[in-house]
Structure 1
Amino acid sequence: MEPLTDAALDTLFREARSFSYWLDRPVGDDQLRAIYELTKWGPTAANACPMRLLFIRSPEGKARLKPVLAEGNVDKCMSAPVVAVIAMDMAFYEALPRLFPHTDARSWYAGKPEAIHNAAFRNSTLQGAYFMLAARALGLDCGPMSGFDGEALNGEFFPDGRWKANFICAIGYGDRDRLHPRGPRLDFDEACSLL
């Protein structure tokens, strides 16, 4: 494999930002499908693929979402073309005989709530990051956030308890004219050790 071009790396990382303000441009079904079709190839433990996505974009859906949001996230979500709820399927292990047929991986989780939660949370978080990279790769911007009442969101959208929200991510075309200056990052020597 060849390294990506600098332009591609800028799109995915160096010039990518977290957006709070959005241009009035829709995001279509084909774009949402394309994001998922890239996202699904990211690795997860035992190919468990526990992430589930709920795309909220209708006025009715946003009206249901609004009461569970932290005050500072209401405008960010209500003005975004789409808000994705990155959720985790707490019964993800039921698909393991199909997704990871080499061994009885289902038995690693069935009846083990702590193992289920740890694997679902860790791997759906990974998949949420892949989701954001896929959206950026396809020309969209992201605004990830965790400011919401998880219990209320789950009760509103996932009342059977099988799916649970991990985080939410607004997607669309960000308004670059309203961005704050980019925050600094830690240098290699501050964040990394070599053994």
Structure 2
Amino acid sequence: MQNLFVAGTDTTSTIVEWSLSELIRNPAILRQAQEELDAVVGRGRLVSESDLPRLTFFNAVIKETFRLHPSTPLSLPRMAAQECEVAGYRIPKGSELLVNVWGIARDPALWPDPLAFRPARFLPGGSHADVDVKGGDFGLIPFGAGRRICAGLSWGLRMVTLASATLVHAFGWELPAGQSVDKLNMEEAFTLLLQRAVPLMVHPVPRLLPSAYEIA
């Protein structure tokens, strides 16, 4: 249970950091996300879990973050129980297999302009409006798919969305003096988790009413 908790915590914080990074690097998208949050939540309180289903644009932001920066770039290894053929490739029995989750989600055959951060893909009328991250669409499987899909999918998705939405709603974010958004380092560090090579350093600026920050 401890391993599951630690794994869930690390992957959640990684995705939250990537979501903030992409929004800071794309000010127009950040403004649109904050406008939606202000319209749904207001400026007198923080985001609650019950608000999440109404955050259409922000949920698209989270999907696009999972697409570009899946917390686990490679699936956990699987072993072929018997010899089989996949897409013309012979897989011998006993072969250890990994799925390149990161590569699939950047395949230009599946995702036009794959390196662009474009949440609108997932909005109604967008090119991928019906795609989700829950394992049913094999072009986007940050939690895996099938019988061995991540057991923490529902919890992890809610936590990532709530944490990211709270940070984006409650604060404006400024880069340190001398840094510009177009030069923000977005290099990835490929380990078991897909983390930022350089931690995100930003200054939070409160944007809600003072009463919203009070702890009851």
User: TM-score category by the smaller chain?
Assistant: under 0.3
TM-score relative to the length of structure 1: 0.26
TM-score relative to the length of structure 2: 0.24
Q: Which has the higher contact order (CA 8 A, sep 6+)?
A: 1
Structure showing the higher helix proportion among its residues: 1
